[in-house]
Amino acid sequence: MNRPARTASAVAAAAILTLAACGGDDDEPAEEPAAEPAAEPAAERAEEPAAEVPVSPSALTLADQDGDGTSVTVGAVDLPADGFIAVHGDGGGSPGPVIGVSELLPAGTSSDVTITLDTPLTDTGTVFPMVHIDTNANGVYEFGTVEGADGPGTTADGDVAVGPVVITLAGGDQGAGDEGAGDAAAEPTIVISNFAFSGVTEVAVGTTVTVVNEDGSPHTWSALDGTFDSGGLGQGETFEFTFTEPGTYDYICNIHPSMTGQIVVTP
């Protein structure tokens, strides 16, 4: 009866050999450490582009004023970002070329801002202060010289923040000792500038009106009924016409038909 005992012993020996070959729990290999994320490429770590500079809401507080024609004062300006006030000349009832720019103004409200004009006004007239935002944030007014830079600010309603200011020159009567200069200043004139007519709109019969082209492009001053026609006027050239009949005269630039105007001649 010794055969079963030998069989049991053999089984136990085989089990011991199997455990030795496989190893126990203490011999299990350690877990691999979690891989660290790869370093982000330098290009992807670049800073985000600067946020777009806001142009709205902008607002101006304007009032007509007396002065010597060398400057314009804006009562208050509200800016959503740093910017400027650009003073535009009269382009026939709307903003014409820029004739003066303020210093850089901070975002928020600035009061009693005075802008010196590049060329003093020589007669009572209208100017158009307009908000411009420093969109490239370099502190320099570059509208018109750098594409896309320093464009107009807009109101909460989406309109350009601009308005007319009538400047009444003080001491307009120069006195009897300066009659020649007074006559020249009073001469009825129509100016062609920035592709628009501006100047006198009503004269009496017998008045001679002078037209001057200040644009770099040629223009004409031509009555629709053929009463007068300057022909092509180059930059700096003038044309005179004396009105001898009362009436309303509509006129146009034959080269640029979108340029129109009207002058009334009274008896």
Q: Which domains does the chain have, with CATH numbers?
A: 59-169 (2.60.40), 187-266 (2.60.40.420)
- Is the predicted pLDDT of residue 167 greater than 60, yes or no? yes
d(CA 62, CA 79): 15
State which H helix or E strand residue 248 sits in.
strand 247-252
105 vs 156, 185, 190, 233, 265, CA distance in Å? 19, 36, 35, 41, 46
In the chain, % helix, strand, coil (3-state, to 5) comes to: 15, 35, 50
Instruction: Render pLDDT for 178-236 as a digit per residue (tens, 0 to 9).
Output: 443 333 334 789 999 889 999 889 999 999 999 999 888 899 999 999 999 999 999 88
Instruction: Render pLDDT for 107-156 as a digit per residue (tens, 0 to 9).
Output: 999 999 999 999 899 899 999 999 999 999 999 999 878 888 898 999 99
The answer to whether the beta carbons of residues 143 and 150 sit under 8 Å apart is: yes
d(CA 142, CA 31): 64
d(CA 97, CA 94): 10
The residue type of 128 is F
Residue reference for tokens 């009106």 = 209
Model's pTM, two decimal places? Answer: 0.50
63 vs 75, 172, 195, CA distance in Å? 7, 20, 27
pLDDT at 170: 75
- Is the predicted pLDDT of residue 22 greater than 90, yes or no? no
Instruction: Render pLDDT for 248-265 as a digit per residue (tens, 0 to 9).
Output: 999 999 999 999 999 999
Which of the pair, 8 or 87, is modelled with greater confidence?
A: 87
The residue type of 144 is G
In 44-178, which ranges are continuous DSSP H helix? none
pLDDT at 174: 40
